[in-house]
Amino acid sequence: MNSPDLPHYLACAAVLFVLGLVGFLARRNLILMFLSVELMVQGVALNFVAFARFRGNLDGQSFVLFMLTVAACEAALALALILALYRTQASLDVSLWQNLREDDLDATEDDEPLPGIMPEAPLPSLPVAGIAPARPEESNRV
């Protein structure tokens, strides 16, 4: 073997697919989850082209063109949906939509505080200092 063979390309595609899987499962940003799905699509496209090359058959490459078409449609629709979701919650966090989960699943709760976001300190009370401003004399003194 003096050049990479079909299984090497398939292994590379598998790594791309699995990294996309990890990103989809672990990340919470809607856009990043969608990018991870696109990463999985890239892995599958690599599979198709590798089979096309090593079987000497162009149908795999044709299929990848259709995958490109569907991916473009999917991106347009998904981004429109993400925008619609963002308008209602003003956040891309997918956990805000966790009331759609199954009944027997526990809710995700964020226990640890984010760094750099301090709880709001109470407003300082200014000490009495400086020259008292002139006030109009009150008419009747006790």
Nearer to other proteins, 111 or 138 (CB): 111
**Minimum distance from CB of 139 to other proteins (Å)?**
55
Coil, helix or strand at residue 24: helix
Find the distance separating the first CA and the last CA of the chain, reported in whole Å.
109
Site string (82-121) toward other proteins, x via CB under 8 A = xxx-xx---xxxxx------------x-x-xxxxxx----
98 secondary structure, DSSP code: G
CA distance 44 to 64: 9
**Minimum distance from CB of 123 to other proteins (Å)?**
23
* Whether the Cβ atoms of residue 42 and residue 68 lie closer than 8 Å to each other: no
Nearer to other proteins, 90 or 132 (CB): 90
**Minimum distance from CB of 130 to other proteins (Å)?**
38
Site string (44-83) toward other proteins, x via CB under 8 A = -xx--xxxxxxxxxxx-xx-xxx-xxxxxxxxxx-xxxxx
Nearest to 87 by CA among 99, 100, 96, 74: 96
